[in-house]
Structure 1
């Protein structure tokens, strides 16, 4: 008789987020779980407590079940608590960087509640590779300490997060890397001749000045001016560059349209004739497939940069928070520019030099990616052990 499927629940994941970076985490996590289950010759059932936007899910299949993440799931006895009890283990990825108190208490308290319900269900909790901290309030530090130390597995995606977890008392932290290094995509066919394709990921959020329009991220850079300077630089370059404007957060309707990259790219494409407007991507893998076909890339959406990085495209990440330098720096990749600490001329100069040195940057990318995959393997090994321990009947 065949063993029963391994039952895994994913929390703080999304199969349909307008932020394709959040979606990339989920698609990649599912790909990792499916591969490990196949290696063990076990079937798998993956239930996603789904952070739901209004698009069609980009994670599907007979092994996938989607449960809306809403008040009913959190409060009803037959909601998340019952789901956690039926699971062999729960994986919490914290939407990548939300396990911190800098985004407000509401989001963090909901994360604490999910963790608490998982522990009450006596189900092993895995904290997948994510940014941990910062925690600036005493109450959030105490709660984070409690839940970090009760988790079965804690994985970080950078050195700073490893230190933050250890400072809160967690000793055995797996310093991995971002699971989106495993995001599936279709590699481009070999291309000879034609223009040099330069991709610029434009953040609609930064272009608008942040959530409030009052420079919420404390940029020293004039971001709108910098984007226009970059477009002009590459359009005038003697190499004959073709500039592609690439979105990675695509919000069609609702209250979050101010974060939309696509509208920002459309406006810039109208302002700068000759630029190429990248498609309205339906999934993270579709976006990565497009980015993989470029020759050089830069962007302020971290997972757009990870898509380039993990497909071998020379990339200059344009940081607005510590997570960029944390992730890429932990892999020895030091091409990140800092929009919170550098002015336009300095950033433009670094990007321009990286483009001229793009063959060397590509080699740096490949070496750093190999390290990232090696570090991610430690997390995958921890998952495999939990899967091996799952009951067979």
Structure 2
């Protein structure tokens, strides 16, 4: 008699986020779950709770169901609570870095509501690899501590997050890496000659001074000025570099257009003739496939850098938060520059020098990628053990 499918619910994931990084987490998580299902010879039924959005979902298949979520669905006993009870496992990835109280109370309260409804439903809850903290308030620390203690698995994606979880009293933490290391993509065809393709991911968020325009990320340098200097440097390089402006957060409409990388890149492309404006990608895998065709890359969107890193492209991540150094530093890739502590001149020089030794960066990244994949396997093994016990 065939076994019933494994019923898995994903929360704080997204199938249609304008942020390709958040989408990359979801696509990669589903790839991991499909692989585990094949290993166990069990069908999987994956339900993704997602906020309503006009973008077409970039994951599909007979094993994937997308359920629109809103406040009413969260509150109704026949909504999320019933779905959690009907699931064999609930996986929460915290949108990558939202399990913290620095992004506002409303988002965190929604996260806690989903977590505690899952606990009440007595369905195992897995915290997929993500940034943990910082937590600065007593109530948020207490709720985070209790929820992690009730989880079947707590996985961090970097050493700093592991330390933050343990500081909250969660001792059993799997230190994995970012699941987006598993993001599928189409490898580029071999090239014979042509210009050196240099990719710059321009953050629309940082070009506009942050969410409020008041530099709440605490940058110590002129980010728009630095981007323009980098474009000038590579356009004037004796190698005859072809500069590609590569968006990774693409907001077509609505109140969040100030975060849009594509508009920022489009304006720079008009300002600097000869640059190549990458498309407004429809999916994370499409973005990674484009980035994989470049010869050198830099960017302030972490998952754009992960796309380069995991596809063999030499990359200099341009950090505006601790998550960059946490992720890349934990697996031994020490090429991150810090826009919150270093000067624009230092960063420009570091990136220019890194370009000249990009073969060395590529070799360093290959070793770090192997370490990251090994760490990620510990998370996959923990998931497999839980799902293997499901009747």
Q: Give TM class, smaller chain.
A: over 0.9
1:38 aligns with 2:49: no
Instruction: Output the CA distance in 2 between the equivalents of 1:56 and 1:332.
Output: 37
Aligned to 1:109: 109
Instruction: Output the CA distance in 1 between the equivalents of 2:132 and 2:69.
Output: 22
Aligned to 2:24: 24
By how many angstroms is 1:106 displaced? 0.8
Aligned to 1:313: 313
Cα offsets for 1:14-71 (capped at 9, x unmatched): 0000000000000000000001101111100000011333200001011111111201
1:292 aligns with 2:292: yes
- TM-score, structure 2 as length reference: 0.99
Instruction: Output the CA distance in 2 between the equivalents of 1:52 and 1:292.
Output: 30
Aligned to 2:345: 345
Instruction: Output the CA distance in 2 between the equivalents of 1:26 and 1:221.
Output: 33
By how many angstroms is 1:189 displaced? 1.1
Secondary structure in structure 2 of the residue aligned to 1:13: coil
By how many angstroms is 1:207 displaced? 0.1
Aligned to 1:191: 191
CA contact (8 A) 1:12 1:51 kept: no
Aligned to 1:60: 60
1:181 aligns with 2:217: no
Secondary structure in structure 2 of the residue aligned to 1:233: helix
Task: Give the superposed CA RMSD.
Answer: 0.6
Gaps of at least 5 residues in structure 1 are none
Instruction: Output the CA distance in 2 between the equivalents of 1:324 and 1:69.
Output: 30
1:91 aligns with 2:91: yes
Secondary structure in structure 2 of the residue aligned to 1:109: helix
Secondary structure in structure 1 of the residue aligned to 2:12: strand
Aligned to 2:372: 372
CA contact (8 A) 1:9 1:48 kept: yes
Secondary structure in structure 1 of the residue aligned to 2:237: coil
Secondary structure in structure 2 of the residue aligned to 1:10: strand
By how many angstroms is 1:283 displaced? 0.0
By how many angstroms is 1:177 displaced? 0.1
Gaps of at least 5 residues in structure 2 are none
What pairs up with 1:134-283 in 2 under 5 angstroms?
Answer: 134-283=134-283
The structure 1 segments of at least 4 consecutive aligned residues displaced by more than 2 Å after TM superposition are none
By how many angstroms is 1:77 displaced? 1.1
Aligned to 1:131: 131
CA contact (8 A) 1:17 1:52 kept: no
Cα offsets for 1:218-263 (capped at 9, x unmatched): 1002000000000000000001100000000000011100100000
Aligned to 2:51: 51
CA contact (8 A) 1:15 1:51 kept: no
1:72 aligns with 2:68: no
Cα offsets for 1:286-343 (capped at 9, x unmatched): 0000000000000000000000000010000000000000000001101000000011
